[in-house]
Copies of this chain bind each other. A is one copy, B any other.
Amino acid sequence: MNKKINVTIWNEFYHERTRESVKKIYPDGIHGALRDKLSEFGEYNLTVLTQDMEEHGLTDEVLANTDVLIWWGHAKHHEVADSVVEKVKARVLDGMGFIALHSAHASKIFKSLMGTSCRVKWRENDEKERLWVIEPSHPIVKNVPEYIEIEEEETYGERFEIPTPDELIFVSWFKGGEVFRSGCTFKRGLGKIFYFRPGHEEYPIYYRDDIIRVIKNAIDWACPDGITKPTLGHVEPLEVVKDKFEGKSMEERTHANLGK
């Protein structure tokens, strides 16, 4: 792939405007921080969208031109329009990559793709988190150390009510006694999904190079590339089928099907 990957960063952008402590950390919003850090790689066309935009910014055109969508939301999940959720889901099933960050575990779109409630244990207690790499050969942890340590984070704990992930990339340790499947991949339709836990708004997590490295790797991994869309719906047989019941009546067939 030689052309630049189109990455759309979507942010609720609520805490950064309403809480002083968060505003200080993310003066340009979480989306702004992610955009600035990811732009350093020079490999992506980066678009930022916020929830307060018309259609939450997720127009058909934007979605059609997005290779990978990054999602951060928390307090305003319920205000995301169902119609937009359906459109985003359709695009994921159609091949668009999707990266759900931190509290996006409880977003409508993530829950809809998972088929579960995606609930967790949680507390805000300034605890240390240590994310251990479980699959060191996975492209999402390319050039990532064997663990990432974050001095202070919100805590999430198992059981994380998700379907069994296709791949378990990170498991987190928390000082207060919990563990959490903090990096998980899923496939839905033709789309690849990565859930990555870190990023509570009260800590400057998204300025860290190691965290951004993981997100960058996840973009590269999730980007659709050379997908052949399968035929679906009614199809003709590929082989000449001569069943021994050809021309037989329903009764004769029925008799045969009762055989065993």
Q: A135 — nearest CB in chain B belongs to which residue?
A: B187
Query: Is A29 an interface position by the 8 A CB rule?
Result: no
A149: min CB distance to chain B, Å:
7
Which of A134, A150, A167, A246 neighbours the largest number of chain B CB atoms within 10 Å of its CB?
Answer: A134
Return the CB mask of A16-37 against B: 1 if under 8 Å, else 0.
Answer: 0000010011000000000000
Q: How many copies does the complex hold?
A: 4
Q: In the bound complex, what is the Cα–Cα distance between A114 and B189 (angstroms)?
A: 10
A86: min CB distance to chain B, Å:
12
Number of chain A residues close to chain B: CB under 8 A: 102
A140: min CB distance to chain B, Å:
11
Q: In the bound complex, what is the Cα–Cα distance between A130 and B257 (angstroms)?
A: 12
- Contact at B95–A137, with CB atoms within 8 Å? yes
Return the CB mask of A169-183 against B: 1 if under 8 Å, else 0.
Answer: 001111111110100
Q: In the bound complex, what is the Cα–Cα distance between A155 and B144 (angstroms)?
A: 24
Query: Is A166 an interface position by the 8 A CB rule?
Result: yes
Q: A229 — nearest CB in chain B belongs to which residue?
A: B136
- Contact at A204–B258, with CB atoms within 8 Å? yes
